[in-house]
Amino acid sequence: MEMTTLSEELHQLASWKEEVNEVRNEVKLMRERLEQIVLSDAPKEVMAKVEHFENRLLRQREVADEMFHDLKQCAKKLSDKPVTIVHHDPPIANFQAMQRRMDTFQQLYMELKSDFNRFMPGDESL
């Protein structure tokens, strides 16, 4: 197993936070595209798929928010800054655990994005 320095881990955490923010922005754009379909005169079958994607995007946003929070907490813990624990929410200090969670987050988001782009007519700008 490759060992990383504290500085490398903190840099990686910052990079992941940026990536999670990008996902949040893309999810917002996807939801806006779905709203366009809702406002159109789409068939019932399409509207059922829109609702399905609305639910998936809502959950993706929730997971992204949780990941961002946990990445911030992990960075605080690793940098030895005082950590304020709110609502019995201890920081995650294990970088490897965050790495596994981020890998899963990335994989699930890419699947969602791929499914969404197959569903949406026209461009695949996301």
**12 has pLDDT over 90:** yes
Count of residues in the chain:
126
Selected residue with higher pLDDT from 8 and 88: 8
Main-chain phi, psi angles of 9, to 5 degrees: -65, -45
Q: What is the pLDDT of residues 93-125, one digit of tens each?
A: 688 889 999 999 999 999 999 999 999 876 555
- The chain-wide mean pLDDT, for the chain, equals 86
Q: Among 4-8, 47-51, 82-86, name the one with the lowest average pLDDT.
A: 82-86
H-helix or E-strand spanning residue 31: helix 6-39
Instruction: Copy the structure tokens of residue 12.
Output: 């990686």
Q: 93, 78 in Cβ contact below 8 A?
A: yes
Instruction: Copy the structure tokens of residue 14.
Output: 């910052």
Query: Is-above-0.85 flag for pTM?
Result: no
Residue ranges per structural domain of the chain? 8-119
Q: 73, 12 in Cβ contact below 8 A?
A: no
